[in-house]
Structure 1
Amino acid sequence: MLKGLNIALKDLKIESRAREIFISMVVFSLLILIIFSIAFSDLLSSASKTATVASGVLWICFIFAGTLGLNRTFATEVQNSCMDALKMCPIPRNSIYLSKVIFVFLLMLLVEIITIPMFSVLFNYQFTAIIWVGIVILLGSFGFVVVGCLISALVIRARAGEMLLPVLLLPLSLPVIIPAVSATSGLLRGEDIFSLMSYIRLLVVYDFVFFAVSMLVFEYVVED
């Protein structure tokens, strides 16, 4: 665990200097928001209509920005031969996986912290139940990153690996995307949290199962 944190800190220090991945994710997310705010301008006359589209728009921003971050994270390691160096280090290989999960998850959280206020401004919408919305976004984002890091490590050396990632990732992440979107939509419409607990339980189970499986199989994924 500690070794994974150290590698993640290394990645964060590098990104804090270059800011290539983070800025790309933020710009991409904000562009999607602007496009949707223009496309749905006729539907945004009331808060109830905005709540209908809010969940889908937010998660499209998060998912596509996250996919961009996942693509660049492992691509950078391979281009600089850092992945080979990490594999030669006397550390468990799943520490590499853990570090990438932490790194991309933190980037996604930062993007989401910027995206949500911008959504409020562009869509003229005031969020309710923000704590529960935040919990759902955390669970959904973590599940997406858990699967994404494993798939990214699997395809990055393949020909057209950056194109393969979304093709494989989006179907595999549907079990986390669907309950995340449904729970977020229900919360924004003012539904009772107890009626949405089934979605939250699905997110927790998905996150736990896929994280445990990914930690076990990552060593075989990055074998030469």
Structure 2
Amino acid sequence: MATHALEDALNIIELLRKKYYMGVSELSKELKLNKNKVFRIIATLELKGIVELDKEIGKYKLGMNLIKLEHAYIKSLDFLGLAKPVIKNLRKKIDETVYIATAHKKDVIYIYEEPARKSVIVNSRLALRYRADKTAAGKVLKRAKKEVGFIIEKLSNEEILEIATIVRDEFYHPVAAVSVVAPSHRVDLDKEETIKDSLISSAEEITELLAPAFSLD
């Protein structure tokens, strides 16, 4: 019985990943489960912070604790340890907030942050999930599956500017995005070009660090 309950709970989480918001009745119909059973599972997941109720629409969505678990897992990956010093140097050079982000299905999750040391900063994206097509980091990750090189994506509005490029592994497969997020008013054309050049240089440096070292000895 416990195995079936766990499987049902994982199916609920997977559905919420795909649909973003679902009610108990919708989950019950989709999974072909009794409503009372779905409600009991949801109540347990909610207690643990894995899902949460959006009171405005009366439907459930994934909770912050699940995203934190994803963040903890991704944080343990080798590339992040190698990338951190490079990201810190990039932040010092441009003095704006720098992120590392990774893709998950149709979303992007910001897994590491080096914040700007300025009085006016944008809201942190650390450990948050966004639709990939709504961020420069997400767009560059999608493009990198089909295109080669250290490509650049930019998204901006009156308040926020994000510029991103791709990090590739030793086989040049895309593994993450590096992005700079700043208030739009603080980035003129000259600074934008500096950010783009610095992003690409940093991404190339991380890729070189990921490449295995060969010795002829």
Q: Same fold (TM over 0.5)?
A: no
Q: Normalising by the residue count of structure 1, what TM-score does the alignment of the two structures yield?
A: 0.27
Larger radius of gyration: 2
From the two aligned structures, give the one with the greater strand fraction: 2
Q: Normalising by the residue count of structure 2, what TM-score does the alignment of the two structures yield?
A: 0.28
The structure, 1 or 2, with the larger RCO (C-alpha pairs under 8 Å, 6+ apart) is 1
